[in-house]
């Protein structure tokens, strides 16, 4: 019997992806997998080679991911893009898109991005708290303060118009109210409150169900005496879900969660670094702010990806012009590189200075610039910050409300907490109840339809 045990132990081998010990009959060769599957594995596991074997469970996981990409994002595989679509990364359901749900975004500024207005505009109303005379045409002019709110709203509700559907948000059919509450240089405490008060006054007129705030107040203060926090509490009592970014100071000695995220009824969203991978073993915490708050409250409640997130580049800016050039050079045949560069002088001085260099050296510089500028394509880059984690949670809530319009803000928060998945090895103070779990949250939302 002892000899049999030794033999069985010796027949077990370790899967290079998940490190599980499995029998040799539970392994498949990488070369036996479809090429699109092996490319996807290599994108997630840089040290893995196709001549290695992996366990059948890992193979099945990547085949399933490939199938989802082929079904919903076919261009992703054909063009070899590197940043995975957010709905795939968080496991969002694909049959709900926030249809019939109105979301309000409070931010420093906005732009009418094609992912929000093509083929039809889903922007129901634009409000500028700083200038009540402003009209929606203001959204057609890109400005210094336009990019942040454009990104947060598109991350949540963009339809991927400029990426042929690859980089669409989880709530890609939701309708939007865009509320400008500041400038890129500063958003004032009192102006966030004014934005919330506008929503409170107009929520019924526009049927606003969710407010997303990717900004924080000026100071750490008790919600019991803070007018901004009290506005958020009133809004939740009135039936509107309020979601706020927790902030990005988690790597500093002082890491407060500021209003309105610090308010008890607000869903504060912290950051997850999923490494742009599908394997949970590699997940870690992003540098998001955390409590307890000045009132002793646990914050954040929920984590969502906060880095490696696809977001739009502001159209009509030098940044987009450069991204388009870099993308074109990356995809060009080598004998076309110098021709393209000569046709676009003045966009990038460093590349212009290399016009007499061999094409392969120019291409190397292009690759460096693509990485340094976080460029995915001519229209998208990857961004980081809890500013972009909050919209992911807001978009999941839009799915939950589409599944069950009768959910209250309190029930929604409870469902998100009950279905979240803990991040192993991370203290509770920093992660709250864990990583948002969209599929489980939507399933539970359906379950409460008859309550």
Question: What is the rounded CA–CA span in Å between residue 19 and residue 2?
Answer: 26
Which residues fall within 8 angstroms of residue 208, CB to CB, at 6 or more apart? 102, 103, 104, 177, 199, 202, 240
Query: So what's the pLDDT on residue 397?
Result: 98
390 near 86, Cβ under 8 Å?
no
Alpha carbon 177 to its chain's center = 19
| Alpha-helical regions (H) of 31-93 | 35-44, 56-72, 74-79, 86-90
Query: So what's the pLDDT on residue 166?
Result: 86
Encode 33-45: b = buried (16+ Cβ within 10 Å), e = exposed. beebbbbbbebbb
Query: So what's the pLDDT on residue 102?
Result: 98
Q: Is 417 helix (H, G, I), strand (E, B) or coil?
A: helix
**Token pair of 79 as six digits:** 């063009």
Backbone angles phi, psi at 244, to 5 degrees: -140, 145
Name the DSSP class of 221.
Answer: -
Query: So what's the pLDDT on residue 39?
Result: 80
68 near 140, Cβ under 8 Å?
no
Query: So what's the pLDDT on residue 9?
Result: 47
Question: What is the rounded CA–CA span in Å between residue 300 and residue 290?
Answer: 6
- The H or E element containing residue 189 is helix 189-206
List the domain boundaries for the chain: 11-72, 102-311+384-447, 316-378
Domain 102-311+384-447 in CATH 3.40.50.150? The answer is: no
Query: So what's the pLDDT on residue 441?
Result: 97
Mean pLDDT of residues grouped by 10 in the chain (451 residues)?
45 80 87 85 76 88 77 59 84 94 97 98 97 92 94 98 92 98 93 98 98 96 97 98 96 94 98 88 92 95 96 95 94 92 94 94 92 91 96 98 98 98 93 96 93 74
């Amino acid at each position: 019997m002892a000899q049999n045990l030794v033999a069985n132990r010796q027949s077990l081998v370790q899967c290079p992806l998940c490190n599980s010990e499995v029998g040799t009959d539970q392994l498949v060769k990488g070369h036996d997998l479809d090429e699109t599957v092996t490319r996807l594995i290599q994108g997630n596991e840089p040290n893995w080679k196709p001549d290695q074997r992996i366990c059948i469970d890992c193979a099945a996981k990547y085949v399933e991911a490939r199938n989802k990409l082929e079904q919903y994002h076919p261009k992703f595989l054909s063009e070899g893009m590197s940043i995975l679509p957010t709905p795939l990364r968080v496991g969002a359901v694909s049959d709900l898109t926030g249809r019939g749900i109105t979301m309000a975004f409070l931010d420093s500024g906005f732009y009418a991005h094609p992912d929000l207005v093509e083929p039809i505009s889903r922007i129901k109303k634009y409000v500028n708290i700083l200038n009540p005379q402003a009209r929606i045409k203001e959204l057609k002019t890109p400005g210094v303060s336009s990019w942040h709110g454009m990104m947060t709203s598109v991350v949540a509700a963009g339809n991927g118009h400029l990426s042929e559907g690859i980089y669409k948000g989880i709530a890609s059919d939701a309708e939007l109210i865009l509320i400008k509450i500041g400038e890129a240089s500063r958003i004032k405490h009192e102006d966030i409150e004014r934005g919330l008060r506008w929503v409170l006054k107009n929520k019924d007129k526009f049927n606003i169900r969710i407010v997303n705030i990717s900004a924080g107040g000026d100071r750490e203060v008790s919600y019991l005496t803070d007018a901004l926090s009290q506005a958020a509490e009133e809004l939740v009592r009135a039936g509107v879900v309020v979601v706020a970014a927790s902030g990005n100071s988690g790597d500093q000695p002082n890491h407060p969660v500021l209003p309105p995220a610090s308010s008890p009824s607000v869903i504060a969203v912290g950051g997850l670094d999923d490494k742009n991978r599908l394997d949970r073993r590699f997940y870690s915490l992003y540098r998001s702010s955390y409590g307890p708050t000045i009132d002793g409250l646990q914050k954040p409640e929920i984590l969502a990806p906060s880095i490696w997130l696809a977001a739009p580049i502001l159209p009509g800016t030098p940044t987009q012009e450069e991204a388009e050039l870099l993308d074109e050079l990356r995809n060009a045949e080598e004998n076309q590189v110098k021709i393209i560069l000569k046709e676009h002088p003045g966009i990038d001085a460093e590349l212009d200075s290399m016009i007499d260099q061999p094409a392969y050296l120019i291409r190397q510089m292009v690759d460096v610039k693509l990485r340094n500028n976080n460029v995915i394509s001519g229209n998208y880059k990857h961004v980081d910050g809890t500013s972009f984690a909050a919209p992911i949670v807001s978009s999941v809530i839009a799915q939950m409300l589409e599944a069950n319009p009768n959910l209250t803000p309190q029930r929604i928060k409870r469902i998100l907490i009950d279905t979240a998945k803990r991040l192993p090895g991370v203290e509770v103070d920093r992660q709250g109840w864990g990583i948002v779990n969209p599929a489980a949250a939507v399933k539970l939302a359906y379950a409460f339809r008859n309550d």
